[in-house]
Each structure stands twice: as C-alpha cells, then as structure tokens.
Structure 1
Amino acid sequence: MAGDIPLRVLGDTGISVPAVGMGCWAIGGPDHNLGMPMGWSTADDAESAAGLERAHALGARLFDTADVYGHGHSERLIGQLVAQVPRADLVLTSKVGYFRGTAPHGFDPGHMRRQLEQSLENLRTDHLDIYFLHHSDFGPYDRWLRGAADTMRALRDEGLIRAIGMRGPHRFAPQRRAGGTAAREDKSATFRRVFDVVEPQILAVRDNLLTPSARSAPIISFAEQHGCGILLNKTLGQGLLVGVNDPAHPRVLGPGDHRSRKRWFTPAAGVVIGEGLARLRAIVGPDRADLVRVALWSGLLRSENAAVLVGFTRAAQVEMNLTCLGEPPPIDVIDAARAVMADVQRRLDNTGEVFLDERPPMSAVAPPVGATAPNP
C-alpha cells in the first residue's frame, strides 16, 4: 500500500506502482503544434508544483509525461519533485515521437537518443522506468519502425530505460485532423503490426466510462495474454466525467488549449454529458468525489495488471483524486454506471455532430520548424 492506494504490478515487468498515477500532460501548459492548440491554458506553475508535491505526500509514485508536453515544461516541473525525494520512490515515464525538431522523423534513432537525453536532464534522473513510443506512424511502408524498435531495446540494454511502452490502437493526430476515411488505416491492424516488431512490455490504453467496452476490452485482454502491464489514461475523461463542461458556466479557454478544438467540450455536448452525469449521481452519490471514485474503479476493475492515470492542474484536484478511492463499489453499481454513460456515448454519436472527434483548428498558429503534434 502507498497510503490508501492499492498496489499494482505492471504485467511481467515486475514494476510495482500505486494503482492511481499522475498524468502530467496538463501541467505542461499552453502549447501549439501543426497549427493546432495542443496544451492546457488553465495550468499554473505554482499550482502544478504544489500538486506534484501533494501527490507524492499522498502516496502517488507514478508520474507520466512526454517530451512534447509543453515541449519539456511538464518534464522540468516533475524534475523539481525528483530533486526533492528519493529516486527509488518514483516510477517515471516519458514518451518520444511527436516532436521531431530538425530530424527527418520523430522516430529517427539518433533523434530518439537525443530526446531521451533531454528528457533525463529535464527530469533530473539517469534513467526512465518506462519509455513510450508516442504514436504508431512510422512513415511510408513503416520505414522507421525497425530502427525505432531496435533503439528502444538498445536503450533498455544500456540501463537508460527499464521497460518499453507503446500505445494501444489509436489514430495519429494529423490523420485525425485531416478527417475522412481515406486517411484512416485500420487502427487495430496498425497496432498489431507495430506490436509484433516493438514487443512492448507496457501498453497505454484510453479507457473511461465514455469509452465503449467493445473498444477497450479487447486490447486490455490482449495485453493480459501477452504479459503486458497497462496504463489506462483519460480515466476522468479530461474532467468531463466530473462535470467540468457545464454549459451554464462555460470555461474560457485561452490560446494553446487543445479543448478548444474538441467537440466534446462544446456546450451542446456538455448538455448531453450533464444529463448523463445527473443520472450517474443518482446511482453513485451527489458529490464530485463520488463521480471520481466510480470512474477510477471502473478502470481499475478492468485488469489486475492496470494502473490508472489522472491529470490535474491544481493541488485540490490531486487531493480529491487520491483520497476518494476507498473500497471498490459493488459490481452492480459499476455496471449501472457504465450503462448510463454508454447511453451518453450513443446519444453523442447519434447527434447531428460527432462530438467525440476532432474538428478543424479554430485558428492557424504556425508550428515550430519540424514540429509534430501530440495526440491527446
């Protein structure tokens, strides 16, 4: 136990973590790539630092980031915490691939090494516990796939990383932005092809109450069959599952906030989700902590090899997310919660707009030369 948070072992890696880890995308702050907002305008460095310290005090030990979250800003904030606590207390993960700088590709082997060196410097450590390939676009005919896989194994052999990670089936951000079916290679086929070459030990999988079980259950089962640990991300739906998108009190999102290009953060989607949350509160309880608890356990009960990641921008959010877990709700409550939010998902999908997808960028902001975009 770390505080009141149960421990999970991530598959065959033997890496043990408290079951709730900290997702550190949001603390990277506002950012742009590929002419799109890709960060969080609501972040504040003082609150982020306080949140990281509070998380450690409450028993969190897993901190998940990426080189492109604020273009290193998230890593540097975590590095301040790393400098204050024993490194052995922490499980640090980062990702590579979305920022390519002047390299020919984000998965160019030399670039990957340079990015890891920068991440280690930012995080004030000599190794990462898990290093993720951040997406599955390896260029035409997978030109960069074999080299990326070989580089990851070399980094592991050299002790610079402990385990190799990759994402579950997903769409590369530029493909999502382009829209249409022509650019959408089958996600599952791409995933399996990459998996067989990379041979990852950890899979990052999007899963929350708004994710249809038919989408997440197969990949979680696949991970278990292959001895992979699982990190479930977006567990709180980036705040949607705790009511942050309230049409009656709309948030003003500043430049560089990815939510400004997401249809599920529109007022219309907020009405649909809000109606579902009202039904959910009738089942699990009236408080925000009740919503957080059922959302976290919905993920944790997917697999004993899984930990969940929760994002934050304020220490108060950290406090709630790490203190409300308690014992698992009865399975009939979990099932009822999933059914309610599955109905919300269907309603969103059946409206005139497809809320749970991308929309064209609201403004064109020139990206840094050679930059590529993180996939939220």
Structure 2
Amino acid sequence: MTRAFYLAPRYLCRGVTAHPLGVHCAAVGRSLDRQRSAAVTDDHALLDGLRRAVELGATLLDTADWYGCGHAERLIGRFLRECRDLPLILSSKVGRLQGSAPHPYGDRHIHHQLKQSLENLYADCLDLYFLDSFDFGEGDRYLGPAIDQMVTLRELGYIKAIGMHGPHIGYGASPAEQQARAERFLHLFRLIKPNVVWMRYNALAPAIQLEGEDVFDFTRRHGVGLVLSTPLPHGSLTGAATTDQQPQDPTRPPGISFTGHTAQEREVVASGPQALRERFGDAPDLLLALRWCLRRSDHCVVVVGLADAA
C-alpha cells in the first residue's frame, strides 16, 4: 500500500469523511491534576499541538465530557474560535459523568451533557457522539431511553452519527473474559445500531473475535466506521516507555505495567523497535506503529494523543 493510500481521506459514516490521522484530546484534561501555573503552561503547549496537528492535515478532534471534567472540551473550544472556517470534525463521548443524575445515562442526562459539550466546544453540533460505557444500570434499565435520546438528537441535527464503545479489553484478559466482552458488545451493537465504533487498538491489543471475524471485517460488513485510539500504548511500541513514565494506578499489582505486562514481557516488547529498525532502516518507530493500524482497513481513522505525538 502506498503513502497516498494511507493519507487519503476516509469515509467513516454518512456525512463524515476524515483525514486518516486525527487528534485524541484526553491529555488536554490532565493539567487539572497539576498546579495552576503548570496547567496554564500545559494549555498553551496543547493549543500549539492542536494548531500543528491541524496544519499537518488532521481534521478529527476526539474528546469526551469527562476528560478533565470538561476542561478538554473547553480548551478545544478556545482553539475552534480561532479557526471557525476550517472543516474540522468533532467527536465527543457521554456515559461516565453522573453528576446529580441517577446514572450517567439516566433520564435526560445525555441531552443535558450534549448541551454542555456543545457549549464547551463552541459548536452547534457534533459529528460523532459516542456512548462511552457498557454500563446501562441494573438490568440495562437505561439502555432503551439512552438509545431513544441518541436517535432523537441525530434526527434533530445535534449529532450526525451515533457511536458506541468498542469491545477492547485489558491486555491480561483471559479467553473467557474476552468472550464475555465480545458477547456484551454484540448484544449492545444489535440494539444501538451505531454508525461508528470507538475503540483502543494497537499491535499489542488482544484480538477479539466477533461472530467469527475480527473487528475490522465485522464493522465493514455492517457498514460501520471505526475510530482507533491508543495506537502507541504509552510508548511500548516506540521504545520510549520507561517505568517512571508509566501512569500511576494504585489498583495495579506490583510489577505490572499500565499496559498489563510484566517487566520480562516489557523487555521482550522493547526489543521489537530494534528489530523493526533493522528491517525498515531509519523509518521512525512511531510511523510504523501508526501504519500498522492504518493498514488494517480503509474505513478506520486513528486518533493520536497529543502527549504521544509530542
């Protein structure tokens, strides 16, 4: 496949065609966990990163209402006010912030969160809006109302496409856990009938089968687009990851990395970039990792975190 193939615009769903590489804006919200002065510095750096990404051709900006409790969306809104005439594609998610609602998907909470997201993003509509969780309450009591709200929002023109969370699962998941995840996804997929699926994917991700197919063949058969996130699993595929750089998680067992690998497994993974350099010469490891994702299908777009691309 040629470079032109990788960089050609990709059709995700009706009314949404994007550059194959977009921007995942989760890192934009992380500055809230730091001191205020550091946050201001980070905001300036992240805005510069957004400008640079768009200059290089990125059109899809992917975020969520819970990234920094809305800070990510507001920062993107600042950026969008600078470039109102650019044909950018906005993607956000709902389903993890509960607020005062009985559940993140409860009652009219989706409608409320969308209005807030549009205000934060300085936008009139979202191109992609994802249900970001498989938790729809006890007995899926909020699933039907959530679907109804999403369909109504699409019919009214507030969103162009309905999206849902993909079947990805932790790196250390057992075959039984992978199967359960796949079955849950398939159950929700049939009911939600999404236009697009958002999921974490990279060369280290477990291969989950859906009705005997991988996620690429499955979504292609159903005419559903894919947004792939985390193509560079915290530097593991580029040789940039170190123990000190791994995100801290007090629930993670000692000796296990953020990606779910032991020190011995990380050492094996770390040898990969050197083998790739011997095979491909001076081609940057980052580009090879991105190409791995892009070549899987022409109906997917890969969103790269600003922190990953820095």
Instruction: State the 1:137 CA deviation.
Output: 1.2
Does the residue aligned with 2:120 lie in a helix, a strand or coil? helix
Instruction: State the 1:29 CA deviation.
Output: 0.7
Asked if 2 retains the 8 angstrom alpha-carbon contact of 1:235 and 1:295, the reply is: yes
Cα separation, 2, equivalents of 1:135 and 1:236? 22
TM-score (norm 1): 0.70
TM-score (norm 2): 0.84
Q: Among the aligned pairs, what percent are the same residue?
A: 37
Matches within 5 A, 1:125-136: 125-136=123-134
Which of the residues 295, 298, 313 maps onto 2:292?
A: 298
Which of the residues 295, 303, 309 maps onto 1:309?
A: 303
CA deviation map 1:332-361 (0-9, x unaligned): xxxxxxxxxxxxxxxxxxxxxxxxxxxxxx
Does the residue aligned with 2:61 lie in a helix, a strand or coil? strand
Say which is worse superposed, 18-27 or 262-271, in terms of deviation. Answer: 262-271
AA of the residue aligned to 1:7:
P
RMSD: 3.2
Count of paired positions? 293
AA of the residue aligned to 2:132:
H
Matches within 5 A, 1:90-105: 90-105=88-103
Which of the residues 60, 66, 73 maps onto 2:64?
A: 66
Cα separation, 1, equivalents of 2:179 and 2:104? 20
Cα separation, 2, equivalents of 1:31 and 1:264? 26
Instruction: State the 1:63 CA deviation.
Output: 0.4
Which residue matches 2:111? 113
Which residue matches 2:219? 223
Which residue matches 2:7? 5
Which of the residues 73, 76, 100 maps onto 2:74?
A: 76
Matches within 5 A, 1:183-332: 186-213=180-207, 218-246=214-242, 250-251=244-245, 262=258, 264=260, 268-286=264-282, 290-313=284-307, 317=309
Asked if 2 retains the 8 angstrom alpha-carbon contact of 1:21 and 1:307, the reply is: yes
Residue 192 to residue 263, structure 1, CA distance change in 2 (3 Å): closer
Residue 220 to residue 101, structure 1, CA distance change in 2 (3 Å): same
Cα separation, 2, equivalents of 1:74 and 1:99? 14
Residue 212 to residue 184, structure 1, CA distance change in 2 (3 Å): closer
Asked if 2 retains the 8 angstrom alpha-carbon contact of 1:246 and 1:267, the reply is: no
Instruction: State the 1:244 CA deviation.
Output: 2.3
Asked if 1 retains the 8 angstrom alpha-carbon contact of 2:163 and 2:198, the reply is: yes
AA of the residue aligned to 1:50:
D
Residue 227 to residue 182, structure 1, CA distance change in 2 (3 Å): closer
Residue 62 to residue 29, structure 1, CA distance change in 2 (3 Å): same
Instruction: State the 1:253 CA deviation.
Output: 5.6
Asked if 1 retains the 8 angstrom alpha-carbon contact of 2:64 and 2:73, the reply is: yes
Say which is worse superposed, 120-129 or 203-212, in terms of deviation. Answer: 203-212
Which residue matches 1:29? 30
Asked if 2 retains the 8 angstrom alpha-carbon contact of 1:246 and 1:271, the reply is: no
Asked if 2 retains the 8 angstrom alpha-carbon contact of 1:29 and 1:44, the reply is: no
AA of the residue aligned to 1:21:
G
Asked if 2 retains the 8 angstrom alpha-carbon contact of 1:229 and 1:306, the reply is: yes
Which residue matches 2:51? 53
Instruction: State the 1:267 CA deviation.
Output: 5.2
Cα separation, 1, equivalents of 2:26 and 2:268? 26
CA deviation map 1:110-129 (0-9, x unaligned): 11111111111111111100
AA of the residue aligned to 2:222:
H
Matched, 1:154 2:152: yes
Cα separation, 2, equivalents of 1:163 and 1:299? 23
Which residue matches 1:360? none
Instruction: State the 1:188 CA deviation.
Output: 1.2
CA deviation map 1:34-55 (0-9, x unaligned): xxxxxxx9x9222111101111
Cα separation, 2, equivalents of 1:218 and 1:183? 16
For structure 1, the 5+ residue unaligned runs are: 33-40, 319-376
Does the residue aligned with 2:134 lie in a helix, a strand or coil? coil
Which residue matches 1:362? none
Asked if 1 retains the 8 angstrom alpha-carbon contact of 2:179 and 2:208, the reply is: no
Instruction: State the 1:22 CA deviation.
Output: 0.5
AA of the residue aligned to 1:24:
C
